[in-house]
Amino acid sequence: MLMKGFKQDIYTCNRCKCGFCREECPSYKTFGLESYSGRGRMSIAWAVLEGKLGLTNEIAKRIYACTMCGYCSARCSMNVTAVIKALREELVERGLVPPEVRDFLENTYKYGNPWKQPREKRSEWTKSTEIRLYESNHEFLYHVGNVGSYDTRGNNVAKALGKILLEGGLSFGVLGRDEDCDGNEVNMLGEKGLFQLLMKKNIQKFKKLGVKEIVTLSPHAYNAIKNEYPRHGENFEVMHYTQLLQEIIRNGKLHISKRLNARVTYHDPCFLGRYNKEYDAPREILQNIPGIELVEMDRNKENSFCCGGGGGNFYTNFFGGGEDSPNRIRVREAYNTGAEILAVACPTCMIMLDDAVKVEGLEEKLTIRDISEIVSEVV
């Protein structure tokens, strides 16, 4: 059983029962049941190991209603997210995944994306731009990802970043129809075999093209390529786009020439923040724009509250859209700062929070903007 590798953590958690992980858990906030919290899922793992509980479809719902935001592991020395991932791997092996997860995995395997969209559509967003396909003499590969390639709102963000990179005089290209899913969500959902297949395809493609440096639009892709790919023998120099923008603003390659008079708050994406400890680059970029007053939400940086889209939930939507869904809670927190703009650095967070603004009736009071969109307007 896959969870046996985490036996010490599971048993320690069940002896301690402190619950530090529970109060800020997005799924516990939504469902209000212990079994939907980090501590509750550790109790499930203990009961399964002890033979007191069998894995069922009902248990699977609890295990998959987790955004893998990492808050529980950040508050505790026990590796709670790793145990949840091991539980998911066990559920995949036993064919007990919920239909929403099954469809996501099948579509990603067959089509390279969860929406069954043709490969040709991956590069449609570039047609009205000067962005070109990657060639071996380019300095950077710009990895766009599924949301940036296929979602209309994501397309706008992908274009905005492309415009900035061109403005900064950087040498880069995209893979277009040849780009594959990075596999981060597949991995978080527990499908090891499919993740390894996607990873190997990407590694082979990058090596064949002579890729040395990669800049990603999504923190999810950044996390997979930076942290998971090296475990399988390949290291690529990879940056999230905010890290690259921070660098080219500092060295004078990108000149900010306009003011933006606005009060702005920033939402830390889980896979950029807690997973990769990058909190400064997005804030430094915003602080370099004349006229911006940057204010913080009460929960920020390592204590940031998840938007609810991680761990595959952006696609599976186990939270629904009720009043206590994570994206609506987070939007209310942003509104309470008095900010006019909620800045994000992740296309998944952007869409999750944009949807919440509409449901909350705050469209005239709070705007969701990706940092790439903000910067593209002031350079």
Write down the pLDDT at residue 2.
65
Could you tell me which residues come within 8 angstroms of residue 90 by beta carbon, excluding any fewer than 6 positions away? 1, 2, 3, 48, 55, 190
Residue ending a domain, choose from 216, 231, 247: 247
Judge if 225 and 259 occupy the same domain.
no
Q: Which amino acid is at 211?
A: V
CATH number, domain with residue 371: 3.40.50.10700
**Token couple for 360:** 């909350």
pLDDT tens-digit series, residues 19-55: 778 878 999 999 999 999 999 999 999 999 999 999 9
Residue 225 is part of a domain; what is its CATH number?
3.40.50.1860
* Count of other CB atoms within 10 angstroms of residue 354: 19
Confidence of residue 14 (pLDDT cuts 50, 70, 90): confident
* Structural domain count, the chain: 3
In which domain, by residue range, is 335 found? 255-378
> pLDDT digit string (tens) for 144-171?
999 999 999 999 999 999 999 999 999 9
Domain boundary among 63, 97, 131: 97
**Residue 4: pLDDT over 80:** no
pLDDT for the residue 19: 78
pLDDT the model gives residue 1? 66
How do residues 255-312 score in pLDDT, each as one tens digit? 999 999 999 999 999 999 999 999 999 999 999 999 999 999 999 999 999 999 999 9
Confidence of residue 115 (pLDDT cuts 50, 70, 90): very high
pLDDT digits (tens, 9 = 90+) for 171-200: 999 999 999 999 999 999 999 999 999 999
